[in-house]
Amino acid sequence: MDNAELRQYLTDLKPEKAIWINNSARSAANGETFPVIDPATANQITEVSCGTAADARAALNAAASAQPGWAANSPRERAEVLRRAWELMIASAPELASLMSWENGKAYKDSLAEASYAAEFFRWFSEEAVRSDGDFTTPPAGGSRTLVTARPVGVCALITPWNFPAAMATRKIAPALAAGNTVVLKPASETPLTALSIMRLLKQAGVPDGVVNLVPSRRSAEISNTWLADPRVRLVSFTGSTPVGRTLLGLAAPRVVNTAMELGGNAAFIVGATADVNAAIEGLMIAKFRNGGQACTAANRIYLHKDIKEEFTQKLCQRVSALKVGAGLNPQTEIGPVVNEKAMRGINELLASALNQGAKVLAQAPLPADLAGYFVAPTVIEVPHADSPLLQNEIFGPLAPLKEYSCEDELLEMVNGTEMGLASYIYGDLNWALHLGEKIEAGMIGVNRGLVSDPAAPFGGVKQSGIGREGAREGIREFQEVQYFSLDW
């Protein structure tokens, strides 16, 4: 897609009417807008409607009215709409990917991979929609029978982050719709355009009016407060940072609203004494640098056994120094900018404070000289202490801190010494890796792989990384309530 085509695609989206209710586009109730910035240049892309409490209520009214009708459709009818959404998203992947690279900054190859990953949730949950199961049992005392079924939870409030603007939305919308729910969605204010483009696609796929509604806004708390105070909202599904997750859990408490929380990570990447070093480097380039390090599953702390440390470090430095940093829309780019100035400053501050505490830069990729955007150089850093700020905080950027270990007890103490528990990666002999993995407090473990995301696998974390699972069979259960009938027999 060239520049002129992308501009036309943006114009056709009508960002000045980005509030999407009952399958139609409208401006914010008070006419307010907010800017969307290109992180590669720091220039404004466009202005987008900034939803208010009145818009949030209007979206909720539409979702509540549409819910009984949508739930009354047969599972097959719901499945076919989702299947068409998958087909349409695959067909429009290049346009969607360009839009994502523009507003989020990520490298085009990462955007294209996300478009296909995001679409896959529609296909997966179209298949799950028709596999609804229940139970029919005889209680121990006999004399009755128990019939267990699942029903849709109702209207769901969805709040998504900017780092995977398409996939984080479809990972919630698809299972919610498959289970017979309707939704209201607030996308991150950095990336509302991707969400808007998904709304248009869902309408084309045959999603009836009111089933999926969108309220972009930079007044996040106003929108979430409005939704969570309304008795018609029965579930809040959030993906984002742990602090905002805690706030939403607090808002859900008074009315005991169901919650699904996909929160922050701090993934350990462990390379054992017997690991295939070349394979581990390949895995780390994905686990660390996919999406420029802005993934909740990103390798955040790299623990190297002392026997392989030297070889691994030297090979990694070579690879990282050669990474091509640039605008996401440039097809040569491997690492784009980070999402905004605040993120860039935060990462630079984290690095500076680690360097003050004895960490050492070993290698760095060059930055583009001709771009004024929010770039952070991919960097390899040697970290001498386990309590370094780089190991204790979620970096969310292309910094790769290395820490040596020599025995398993020391390793496990470091790996589990965090309140986060989303993902970890282990490279080494399979038997050793599985035994070690069982001792790691994380919801997902990549074994000799640098990627754990898969629509057919239950994505989620333990500890302060979240509550619940997305994708797989578990993903639809989050959007259902169990109901049982006790039958006289």
Residue reference for tokens 């003050």: 356
Which residue lies nearest ligand NAD, judged by its C-beta? 240
Q: CA-CA distance, 173 to 241, in Å (whole number)?
A: 20
* 271: Cβ contacts below 8 Å, ≥ 6 apart: 277, 280, 302, 303, 304, 305, 308, 312, 427, 428
Integer angstrom CA distances of residue 380 from 262, 268, 351, 359, 402: 28, 15, 11, 10, 7
Task: Please report, as residue ranges, which positions from 9 to 28 form the binding site for ligand NAD (by CB under 6 A).
Answer: none
Of 204, 209, 205, 256, give the one whose Cα is nearest residue 228.
Answer: 256
Q: Is 186 in the site for ligand NAD (CB under 6 A)?
A: yes
CB of 197 to ligand NAD, least distance (A): 17
Question: For ligand NAD, which is the closer residue by CB, 262 or 478?
Answer: 262
Going residue by residue from 225 to 264, which x/- string records binding to ligand NAD, judged by CB under 6 A? Answer: --------------xxx--x--x--------------xxx
Under rule CB under 6 A, residue 153 binds ligand NAD: no
- Measured in whole angstroms, the distance separating CA 360 from the mean position of its chain's CA atoms is 31
What residue type is 389 in one-letter code? P
Q: At 149, list the tokens.
A: 């079924």
Span 207-226, contacts to ligand NAD by CB under 6 A: 220-221, 224
Among 128, 190, 262, 470, which one carries the catalytic annotation? 262
Q: How far is the CB of 264 from ligand NAD (least distance, A)?
A: 3
**What is the nearest approach in angstroms of ligand NAD to the Cβ of residue 274?**
31
Rounded to a whole number of angstroms, the minimum distance from the CB of residue 132 to ligand NAD is 25
- What mask, x for binding ligand NAD by CB under 6 A, covers residues 73 to 112? ----------------------------------------
Q: Which is nearer to ligand NAD, 364 or 464 (CB)?
A: 464
Which position among 114, 296, 334, 394 bears the catalytic label? 296
Identify the DSSP state of 291.
G
- CA 450/CA 282 separation, integer angstroms: 8
Closest Cα to residue 226, out of 49, 51, 354, 68? 51
The Cα angle at residue 240 between residues 235 and 244, in degrees rounded to 5? 80
The span of 65-73, 118-126, 163-171, 385-393 binding ligand NAD (CB under 6 A) equals 163-171
Q: Is residue 262 among the annotated active site residues?
A: yes
Q: Which residue lies nearer to ligand NAD by CB, 41 or 189?
A: 189
From 42-50, 159-167, 311-319, 480-488, give the range in contact with ligand NAD by CB under 6 A. Answer: 159-167
- CB of 190: closest distance to ligand NAD in angstroms? 7
Strands 379-382 and 420-421: unpaired
Q: What sections of 220-363 are H helices per DSSP?
A: 220-228, 242-252, 277-289, 309-321, 341-356
- Residues engaged in binding ligand NAD (CB under 6 A): 159-164, 168, 186, 188-189, 220-221, 224, 239-241, 244, 247, 262-265, 296, 394, 422, 461, 466
Annotated active-site positions, please? 262, 296
